[in-house]
């Protein structure tokens, strides 16, 4: 970069940068020592709190200083020429620095930026707060006499490396972005910068940086198997990656109206089915309503409502919660959460499956998903018992239906008034339609291929029936050469190029394995449609993006998506959802924000390519597509990513998402600059014009 810098012409750089720097006045009487001192002051006034009027460009024209006798001191002509030459050299160097930072460092500097802006940008990147007047302090402290900091540290995420790297790959343009989302200019602007900061840095230990990092990694998400946070599960204290996304701003005024919902905290209802901190929630809802948020999303936990005995439902806390939401004239999007919460990074509550279900599991552990080694995963029930009466005389599907029917009857007035606008049905771990193929509790680490989860007695019995129907009873087994949780595709005989996955047995097994997933969703959604007749229902689909650029798509196969390079595994899922009139909630909205944070090259991942495939499979059958952010987002760059995906640029059919859910309501969201950026994001999602302000 340095060599390229030297090739820039000084005059051209001055003109391009629009440097607001004046030549030295020939009548300037300030001596050389004072001139040098003034340069030093100008170079650091952004750090030491000088006002904006004291920027260095205003120091370049010094006033003549009269002597006590009324005469003027005149410097020799050659000294004036030396001063002019130094000033020109300084301006040329500054112009080259600014040009390089814009072109190679991806700093979003204003057109007439000066050295103060550069220092302020570096300070913010290091985790410091720089106020508009130049006052600078660590994010963990607050200067006396100031209010809430006008700026917040850059949002951080963590990487999964086990050590602090000494260097990182230079940022490049985004990879795998379909042409429907960007034009040529956008592609050149949509770049990302990753800066690794050692953990010994004092900035990492600041309370604000910690809160933003932990929240972004998994703010209340069930992230044990979350495919979007796989690069950050292992080493929260290992590295911090600065995530500045440089998207060219689009004007979304006049674009389609997309409703915005905000997820409520996981622990808004406690294990006694009581509303927690009603007063605090009322204040937050009042703020959300003031910026025209459309509604909130609520998890209705099976482990809370039917905790003690079969069909003994306690909806008291949710009744109170829904009343509070209705009083603020907000809509409610409900998630039927048939999985457990707790034990995962970011979880601040523990909500297991109902006690009576856990008691059954102790005597019959085959009700849970099981891997080849016989390890059980109690996060959710195996789909093998969907039609097995092992839950006190009921099948799993009957249990789910009774729960949903009870909810529909209990909250009939909210359905009739249209307060409940959508019901999302949990279909697996984290509420997502997939196998729990990558559980951290069993040792999985990104980017391992995961393991098949079909070794409970009920799924094995189903496999035997399928093999016998095919006339190949010896195929009634799982693959014995698929490696372990942390294997790479080429290390296995099943997933490698030309491996058994594409042989006769492999195609049989994968077709059966994926069909079990589709059949489970088909059964549960058919009953959900019956229970919630007249209300939109939805299913959540995750994006298993690692190994997407390999032939086998190994990680998707173990998760239940039969989507190798020679087969589209998402078309059949979209068709199944279309049959029930269900919407698709795809949780991979802003993955290009992570392109430099997660080693996609090593894992041959392509989150953008996967998202493009899934969205088109849904849109091709006119399926409504909802979305939510997988990572906590407070900065404009992240919001731009979400907006670009929600409203694709130049789509000939005008396709866009049906609704958006923001993760998650917290005091951090309501804080100063974060609140202003979120309000701006909501307006743009609604297709409104926004007034610009300096972020």
Residue 539 CB-half CA count within 13 A: 29
* 670 touches 282 (CB < 8 A): no
In 3D space, the residue among 216, 185, 181, 229 whose CA is nearest the CA of residue 640 turns out to be 181
Nearest CA to 656 out of 684, 625, 681 is that of 625
Sheet of 156-157, strand order: 156-157, 240-242, 196-197
User: Quick one: CA dihedral 598, 600, 603, 605, positive or negative?
Assistant: positive
Which entry of 432, 556, 595, 608 is annotated as an active-site residue? 432
The sign one gets for the Cα dihedral 434, 436, 438, 439 is positive
> Tell me, what DSSP letter sits at residue 310?
T
Count CB-CB contacts under 10 A for residue 536.
18
Q: Give me the residue label for tokens 């990694």.
A: 217
What is d(CA 494, CA 210) in angstroms, rounded to the nearest whole number? Answer: 42
CA distance 69 to 121: 46
Helices (H) and strands (E) in the chain, counts: 21, 17
Residue with tokens 């995750």: 542
User: In the annotation, is 628 catalytic?
Assistant: yes
Coil, helix or strand for 119?
helix
Could you tell me which of 259, 262, 124, 161 has the C-alpha nearest to residue 637?
Answer: 124
- Residue 317 contacts residue 273 (beta carbons within 8 Å): yes
Is 602 considered catalytic here?
Answer: no
Residue entry with tokens 């939510």: 628
Q: Which of 340, 424, 595, 628 is catalytic?
A: 628
Count of CA atoms in the C-beta half-sphere (13 A) of 581: 13
Tokens of 285: 């809802």
Active-site positions read: 432, 628
């Amino acid at each position: 970069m340095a060599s390229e810098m030297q090739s820039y012409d000084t005059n051209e750089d001055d003109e391009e940068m629009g440097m607001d720097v004046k030549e030295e006045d020939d009548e300037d009487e300030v001596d050389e020592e004072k001139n040098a001192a003034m340069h030093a002051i100008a170079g650091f006034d952004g750090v030491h709190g000088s006002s904006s009027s004291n920027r260095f460009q205003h120091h370049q024209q010094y006033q003549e200083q009269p002597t006590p006798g009324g005469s003027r001191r005149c410097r020799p002509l050659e000294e004036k020429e030396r001063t002019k030459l130094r000033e020109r050299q300084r301006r040329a160097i500054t112009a080259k620095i600014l040009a390089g930072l814009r072109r190679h460092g991806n700093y979003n500097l204003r057109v007439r930026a000066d050295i103060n802006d550069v220092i302020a940008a570096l300070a913010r990147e290091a985790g410091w707060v720089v106020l508009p007047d130049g006052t600078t302090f660590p994010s963990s402290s607050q200067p006396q006499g100031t209010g809430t900091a006008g700026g917040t540290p850059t949002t951080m995420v963590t990487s999964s490396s086990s050590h602090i790297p000494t260097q990182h790959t230079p940022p490049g343009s985004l990879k795998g972005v379909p042409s429907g989302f960007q034009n040529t200019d956008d592609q050149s602007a949509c770049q990302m910068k990753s800066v690794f900061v050692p953990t010994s840095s004092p900035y990492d230990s600041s309370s604000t940086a910690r809160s933003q990092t932990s929240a972004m990694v998994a703010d209340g998400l069930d992230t044990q198997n979350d495919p979007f946070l796989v690069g950050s599960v292992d080493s929260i204290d290992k590295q911090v990656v600065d995530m500045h996304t440089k998207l060219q701003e689009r004007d979304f005024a006049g674009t389609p109206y997309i409703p915005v919902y905000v997820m409520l905290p996981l622990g808004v209802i406690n294990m006694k089915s009581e509303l927690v901190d009603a007063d605090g929630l009322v204040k937050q809802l009042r703020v959300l309503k003031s910026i025209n948020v459309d509604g909130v999303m609520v998890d209705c936990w099976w482990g809370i409502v039917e905790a003690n005995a079969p069909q003994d439902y306690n909806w008291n806390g949710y009744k109170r919660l829904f009343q509070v939401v209705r009083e603020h004239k907000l809509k409610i999007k409900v998630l039927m959460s048939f999985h457990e919460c707790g034990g995962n990074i970011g979880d601040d509550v523990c909500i297991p499956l109902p006690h009576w279900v856990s008691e059954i599991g102790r005597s019959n552990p085959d009700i849970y998903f099981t891997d080849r080694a016989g390890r059980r995963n109690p996060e959710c029930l195996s789909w093998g018992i969907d039609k097995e009466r092992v839950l006190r005389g009921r099948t799993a599907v009957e249990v789910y239906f009774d729960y949903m029917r009870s909810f529909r009857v209990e909250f009939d007035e909210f359905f009739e008034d249209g307060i409940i606008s959508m019901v999302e049905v949990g279909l697996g771990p984290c509420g997502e339609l997939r196998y729990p193929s990558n559980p951290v509790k069993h040792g999985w680490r990104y980017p391992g291929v995961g393991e098949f989860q079909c070794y409970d007695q009920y799924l094995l019995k189903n496999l035997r029936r399928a093999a016998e129907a095919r006339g190949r009873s010896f195929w009634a087994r799982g693959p014995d050469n698929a490696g372990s949780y942390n294997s790479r595709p080429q290390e296995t005989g099943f997933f490698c190029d030309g491996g058994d996955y594409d042989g006769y047995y492999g195609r049989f097994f994968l077709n059966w394995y994926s069909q079990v997933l589709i059949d489970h969703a088909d059964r549960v959604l058919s009953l959900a449609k019956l229970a919630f007749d007249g209300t939109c229902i939805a299913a959540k689909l995750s994006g298993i993006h690692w190994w997407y650029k390999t032939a086998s798509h190994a990680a998707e196969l173990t998760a239940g998506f039969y989507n190798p390079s020679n087969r589209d595994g998402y078309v059949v899922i979209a068709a199944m959802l279309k049959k029930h009139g269900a919407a698709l909630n795809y949780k991979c909205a802003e993955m290009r924000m992570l392109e430099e944070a997660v080693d996609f090259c090593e894992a041959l991942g392509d989150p953008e390519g996967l998202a493009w495939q899934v969205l088109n499979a849904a849109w091709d059958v006119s399926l409504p597509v909802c979305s939510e952010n997988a990572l906590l987002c407070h900065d404009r760059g992240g919001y731009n990513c979400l907006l670009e995906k929600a409203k694709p640029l130049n789509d000939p059919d005008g396709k866009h998402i049906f609704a958006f859910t923001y993760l998650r309501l917290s005091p951090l969201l309501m804080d100063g600059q974060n609140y202003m950026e979120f309000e701006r994001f909501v307006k743009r999602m609604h297709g409104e014009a926004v007034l610009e302000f300096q972020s």
